[in-house]
A and B are shown apart, each in its own frame.
Chain A
Amino acid sequence: MSGGVKSGKRKRDWFLIGGLVFLSFLLLFAIFGPAIRGAQLSAEAKRLDPTLRTYDPVMDRISAKTHEPPGPVALLGTDELQRDIVARLAQGARISLFVGFTVQIIAVVVGVAVGMAGVFAPKWIRGPLLRFTDGMFAFPDILLAILIVSIIGFTVNAVIVALAITAWPAIARLTVTQVATLKDREYVIAAKAAGAPTIYLIFKHILPQMTGVLMAYSMIELAGTILAESTLSFLGIGVQAPEATWGNMIGAARINMNSYPIELIWPCLILSLTIFSLNFVGDGIIARSDPKSR
């Protein structure tokens, strides 16, 4: 925090703060957005449009008009099926964050376990395991994800499984390099000399030391996961309509882009900002926790 070169540091901090602020809003939007918009819309829709008896949460229908321009009810307008764009963005945020966090939690658990085994397991397990991890890491993620999704189906759970399988090798490799330096620190060697079992060393001395770096990297990986989920949905082989995700919103809006380009802007903007923010925050945390790069 203190010392160091002032000018270079402050600029990076602005990106970090900006990213954190955006992500906080996004989280609130994802948690409360659908409920608030749903309630508000059902009241408004009934009042304003007598042809619509109730707000239908499955179809998100609020208006009798397709492609309604932004107005007091639908703040950003409606899409081709009369659904409110704000409500769909919120639902998309919810799915993106849910898929992203679930995948990253699985990836961190599996990746750390494999990484630890890659350092501490006997050589005949360690060698093939690291080879396999490297092979998985080198294989193009999106291709593997596409293959897996094509086998299990185009659902949220299938997307989670596919992306988790592609996400863990990065964390495993990070764990291996982190642990390789940590396990030779004096306090770890001292604990080992005092007779502490390996499991104790891992949980008590090594893991707590690498949580910061692990979190920062999984933030950046989270951006990749959200992007991959959007890509699958955009290609029509991820989360399917009527469920809204940013990816399939972009995909649907692209088809109507000659007539209604405005509908393309919002999902693109929110997706790009999310990915930028996650990268800024991850880089910011790494820069802060690593004294060398300051």
Chain B
Amino acid sequence: MLHYASVQLARALLLRILFGALSLFFISFVTFVADEIQPGDRATVEAGEKATPATVERIRENLGLNRPWPVRYAEYVGNALHGDFGKSYYGIKEPVATVVGRNFPVTVVIATSAITLASIIGIFLGTLASIWANRAGDRAILVGSTLFVTLPNFVLAPILVYIFCLQLNYLPQIWKPDRPEGDFWYLVLPVAVLAARPTALLTRLTRAKMVETMQMEFIRACVAKGVPPFRLVLRHGLRNAVLPVITAIGTSFGVLLTGSFVVETVFNLPGLGFLTIDAIRKGDMPVIQTCVLLTGAMFIFLNLIVDLMLPILDPRIRESQV
């Protein structure tokens, strides 16, 4: 029986990985086609604006761009699998892998900080609200979280900048190449803005699940047995309610890693989102392709992890899958 169960699980896992890889190929193909249908390619960029059509054609031939597209796509995928994503069209024409590798850590740092902050505050406030269910404190937390779920990042960010940078003068406004105050202070506002929405979402989810759990039979049994309230909420309530919250933390982290365009643009942070938007404005196709591919890969990978984690954390799901 156990053997059968693990075979089933392995099969599901393999299918998911296969599907993820297929999705990545699909994304890479879409970005490749995007490059094809766009006017201009590497040859026109290399040749410059004043080049004659003949020059462009000669450069195209030298670069091998006149070969049929399936050949070039195969070459692109082959190079990508070896970590070679081509070179940027502009600037000093750095390899894209270098540029992306430089920007990626920034996004990871702010997304990780934001999700940690959001998890701690969200679970805390949600639990608090569930203890105060339907009283004033609960209402206040609910209204506040509704506000932050719907408030756009690019509205929240200027408000915070106005208060903390322009009026109070506590924090630096944007990321600069020279940072006299230490990196931490430059990341406070971006992380706060990024964390706002997941905090609100996690607060609402924790509250809902806690209210549901605390109405169950076994909680009443615990009360009857005389379990102290603190232990009741943390050990018996929260431990049972927190599973869907963990799933939500996983998906929120995916959204943060792949959706920090606005925050990075507002605060001038050299992360992946900033790089993507910058490349799109310039029309730097190799950089766009790689950014989209990497972002898509992260998203697929994180969703896979979340799906795999659930049966490990929750014995009920583990049994129902068998």
Q: Which residues of A contact B (CB under 8 A)?
A: 135, 138-140, 142-143, 146-147, 149-151, 223, 227, 230-231, 234-237, 247, 250-251, 253-254, 257-258, 261, 264, 268, 271-272, 275-276, 279
Query: Within the assembled complex, what's the spacing in Å between the Cα atoms of A272 and B150?
Result: 8
B280 close to A146 (CB less than 8 A): yes
B166 close to A237 (CB less than 8 A): no
Query: Which of B115-123, B228-236, B254-262 is the contact stretch?
Result: B254-262
Query: Which of B95-103, B205-213, B291-299 is the contact stretch?
Result: B291-299
Given A140-B255, A143-B258, A151-B34: A237 and B277 interface contact (C-beta under 8 Å): yes
- In this complex, the member of A138, A146, A257, A268 whose beta carbon has the largest number of chain B beta carbons within 10 angstroms is A146
Q: Which residue of A lies closest to B255 (CB)?
A: A140
A230 close to B152 (CB less than 8 A): yes
Query: Within the assembled complex, what's the spacing in Å between the Cα atoms of A276 and B37?
Result: 39
A271 close to B152 (CB less than 8 A): yes
Q: How far is the CB of B321 from chain A (nearest CB, A)?
A: 18
- In this complex, the member of A143, A149, A247, A271 whose beta carbon has the largest number of chain B beta carbons within 10 angstroms is A143
Given A140-B255, A140-B295, A271-B152: A146 and B158 interface contact (C-beta under 8 Å): no
Contact residues, B134-176 vs A (CB, 8 A): 147, 150-152, 154-155, 158-159, 161-162, 166
- Chain A residues with CB below 8 A from B159, complex form: 268
10 closest cross-chain pairs (CB), A and B: A150-B280, A268-B155, A151-B34, A140-B258, A234-B154, A275-B150, A235-B277, A147-B292, A264-B158, A254-B158
B150 close to A231 (CB less than 8 A): no
Q: List 24 A-B contacts (CB under 8 A).
A: A138-B303, A140-B255, A140-B295, A143-B258, A143-B259, A143-B295, A143-B296, A146-B261, A146-B276, A146-B277, A149-B280, A230-B152, A231-B262, A234-B262, A235-B265, A236-B281, A237-B277, A237-B280, A247-B154, A251-B154, A257-B162, A258-B166, A268-B159, A272-B151
Given A147-B292, A264-B158: A235 and B262 interface contact (C-beta under 8 Å): yes
Query: Within the assembled complex, what's the spacing in Å between the Cα atoms of A139 and B37?
Result: 23
Task: Annotate B200-221 by CB proximity to A: 1 below 8 A, 0 otherwise.
Answer: 0000000000000000000000
Number of A-B contacts (CB under 8 A): 86
Q: Which residues of B contact A (CB under 8 A)?
A: 23, 30-31, 34, 37-38, 147, 150-152, 154-155, 158-159, 161-162, 166, 254-255, 258-259, 261-262, 265-266, 276-277, 280-281, 288, 292, 295-296, 299, 303
B292 close to A257 (CB less than 8 A): no
- Chain A residues with CB below 8 A from B276, complex form: 146
Given contacts A150-B280, A235-B265, A236-B281, 17 further A-B contacts (CB under 8 A): A138-B299, A142-B259, A142-B261, A143-B258, A143-B296, A143-B299, A146-B261, A147-B288, A150-B34, A230-B152, A234-B154, A247-B154, A254-B154, A261-B162, A272-B151, A276-B147, A276-B150
